[in-house]
Amino acid sequence: MKPSNGKPSLWAELYPELGTEPIPTDRCFSPEYFAQERERVFKRVWLKVGRVEEIPEPHDYKVKRVEVANTSLILVRGDDGQIRGFHNVCSHRGNKVVWGDDLCGLRNRARGRAFVCHFHGWAYNLRGELVSVPQAELFFNLDRRANGLTPVATDTWNGFIFINLDPDPRQGLKDYLGGAGERLEGFPFEQMTRVYEYYTVLNCNWKIALDAFSEAYHVATVHAGSFPGVFDAAVKQVRMYGPHHSGAAFQKPAPNPGPVAKLSYRLATSSIAKPGSRSSLPASVNPERDPEFVFDQTGIFPNYLIDVSDGLYFTHQFWPLSIDKTLWEGIQYFPHARTAGERFSQEYGQVLQRNAWLEDTGTMEATQIALSSGVKKVFNFQDGEVMLRHSYKVIEEFISRT
């Protein structure tokens, strides 16, 4: 992207409100700051917790732990097809209604169109209403209507399921996503249901993990093995959308893939490093249709990244478990292959991507250990790390709200 004077853009000039000053490092290891993030960010904004394909039929449900908010959630598709969310807490003695959930989510079907607490057998229907209480006659003026499952604001956008833990959200999901959601309208997310999912717990603050996937400055060093000489180390087409942002990754001129990569690209309908046209992208993504474009990343505040490319997309999510532990979820989405060649190409591409993610995650724990020493007081961000600077600014704004 170039301004009218023809010189390369400096993002600091285009977004002066972000400033250029160093960022304090204690935001990644201060217990007080983490407590404020928990209360004023994660408990107040819309958070992605799933895809509609995970619960495609009535009675299908998913249980998702949200450790940063000290809660477990039930997401269920009702008989009317609507997806609803509830806190996974029984109104009797506070036990979990559905047991066995793990960090990445338990998926199943509700038996008999109801959830039954294992402790004392209280039962709730798919709308969260209390429908059965064993020995109900022994309770004192029990109001069933007031003792259903506690609802959670739940909505969907392009097949992504979001929840908001604020009992009275300040805005709906569509308004929250704003321009960031609008620019991805038209991308065929629903067609890409072949899923490769990876996750691990990283011993680092969630922002350290998020930062590592939000800039291209590291490509020449960290990804010298998986993508040698492929990607440009500059982020381009950066845009801000309130608390969200986007930027694009590009190839260096004339990449020279090896024999297996060449075969994969020849057979591919989609690949993370495949050159060529980007016909499946909405007009707002890579609007100039630059042939060296590889993928576009949209950062949905606070902890979700959506990367779209030609015929595929992948996502990253970073769930705080504690001040220095993060659940990272990396998912690749492809259309179902129609030929053996397409399947080969997808397998090659997803393994290549997985290896790159291993390289990325390999930096994070060392960063946390070093920062926790307190020796370095600030991060010195360069101009290309503008999306990191934006995230830290937005977090600070949310924490400062009354």
Helical ranges in 270-385 per DSSP H: 340-361, 364-372
0.85 surpassed by pTM: yes
Task: State the pairing for strand pair 123-125/114-116.
Answer: antiparallel
Are 309 and 278 a contacting pair, CB within 8 Å? yes
- Could you tell me if 238 and 247 are in contact, meaning their C-beta atoms sit under 8 angstroms apart? yes
Question: Do 20-33+180-400 and 46-165 agree at the fold level?
Answer: no
The fold adopted by the segment(s) 46-165 is Rieske Iron-sulfur Protein (2.102.10)
Question: Residue 138: CB partners within 8 Å, gap ≥ 6?
Answer: none
What is the enclosing helix (H) or strand (E) of 251? none
CA 335/CA 402 separation, integer angstroms: 45
The pLDDT tens digits along the chain (402 residues) read 343 334 456 899 999 999 999 999 999 999 999 999 999 999 999 999 999 999 999 999 999 999 999 999 999 999 999 999 999 999 999 999 998 766 677 888 887 889 999 999 999 999 999 999 999 999 999 999 999 999 999 999 999 999 999 999 999 999 999 999 999 999 999 999 999 999 999 999 999 999 999 998 888 888 877 777 777 778 889 999 999 999 998 887 656 777 777 777 777 666 665 554 545 789 999 888 888 888 999 999 999 999 999 889 999 999 999 999 999 999 999 999 888 888 888 888 888 889 889 999 999 999 999 999 999 999 999 999 999 999 999 999 999 986
Phi, psi (degrees; rounded to nearest 5) at 64 = -130, 120
Listed in sequence order, the residues at least 6 apart from 351 whose beta carbon sits closer than 8 Å to its beta carbon are none
**Pair 189, 159: CB distance under 8 Å:** yes
CA-CA distance, 73 to 312, in Å (whole number)?
Answer: 29
Looking at residue 87, its amino acid is H
Superfamily of domain covering 20-33+180-400: Naphthalene 1,2-dioxygenase Alpha Subunit; Chain A, domain 1 (3.90.380.10)
Domain spans in the chain, listed from the N-terminal domain onward: 20-33+180-400, 46-165
* C-alpha count within 13 angstroms, C-beta hemisphere, residue 100: 7
